[in-house]
Homo-oligomer: A and B are copies of this chain.
């Protein structure tokens, strides 16, 4: 590791040629002779030449930095996704610039501005809960910034996205409850304006309808998908005249709330009450009883978005040619949904 960085000029001097030739040689320019090209390559390797990213970015007006916007970096799912992206992108010389929105539209706008100032070439985003419109995001496309969504997406012209099949995940989850003998299944739903929660509700409806079970409107309880939301949902549900067999919650924390409220009310999970969640948060494996849930394949999702991004960038594809990738979720069956009969 030498003290200062090697530049193309150093290589040029060494070879008694011009810097432009060195640059072209390293980029396989057709007008450079094979002899020169090989010579340059060799010296570059010998000196461990690493191009100066800033110079390149400045010249190109665009950096190899990828902006990433997530609600919170320390949510297990998001940090998994970021981990997956990092793995793929780092290998291709991209760097990540990570911003958090804390679920606030205001922060999301600020993050976008920051990324624009940083001249990122692409942005990967999972929108905040407050985000409904897409004007602030569309503005990026004027700047030629490529846009990729994951998980919480906005269907927008000229963007790519990667999601899991939330509907299928919810369907499998609900079907599992039905197969285990539960019938009066409550769905603790998330905010209707978020795609993923809408899809999860649909999957639930599909499963119920497909099994010939009529879903009463009161069975769908929309709450914030946090612990307190789950508790509220439980208390609300037990008031229902017809009784309750199980809860399919749109999020693991809500399921946790349901389980805790159930325990306090003396109802045993899974024998008196089935409970399932969504997300496969780490704690779901450790609680008693362990929670049946759906894995969102965060790492895989991150890798996929990253690959799309690299593909689009290297081949300079326009986002209009891009589309939506849907990953298969995985149902993780644990104890909370398997009554001992």
Contact = CB atoms under 8 A, between A and B. Distances in A.
Task: Count chain B CB atoms within 10 A of each CB in A83, A99, A139 and give the residue with the most.
Answer: A83
A96 interface: yes
B74 A100 contact: no
A296 to B, nearest CB: 13
A195 interface: no
A79 interface: yes
A256 B241 CA distance: 40
Contacts of A118: 53, 95
Interface in A44-97: 50, 52-55, 57-58, 63, 65, 72-74, 76, 79-80, 82-83, 86-87, 90, 95-97
Given A119-B52, A283-B286, A82 B73 contact: yes
Given A90-B99, A99-B86, A287-B288, A74 B80 contact: yes
A332 interface: no
Nearest to A252: B286
A98 B86 contact: yes
Contacts of A321: none
Contact of A286 (B79, B117, B286): B286
B79 A73 contact: yes
Contact of A83 (B1, B73, B90, B114): B73
| Number of copies of this kind of chain in the complex | 2
Bin the interface of chain A by size: 35 or more
A282 interface: yes
Interface string A113-148: 010111100000000000000000001001100000
A82 B68 CA distance: 14
Nearest to A143: B3
Nearest to A139: B1
A83 B78 CA distance: 12
A116 B6 CA distance: 12
Contacts of A95: 65, 97, 118
A3 B140 CA distance: 10
Contacts of A76: 74, 76
A259 to B, nearest CB: 9
A205 to B, nearest CB: 29
B79 A74 contact: yes
Contacts of A5: 119
Nearest to A87: B100
A193 to B, nearest CB: 25
Nearest to A53: B118
Contacts of A54: 54, 57-58, 63, 119
Contacts of A65: 95
5 contacts: A5-B119, A58-B58, A96-B98, A283-B283, A287-B288
Interface of A: 1, 3, 5, 50, 52-55, 57-58, 63, 65, 72-74, 76, 79-80, 82-83, 86-87, 90, 95-100, 114, 116-119, 139, 142-143, 256, 281-283, 286-288
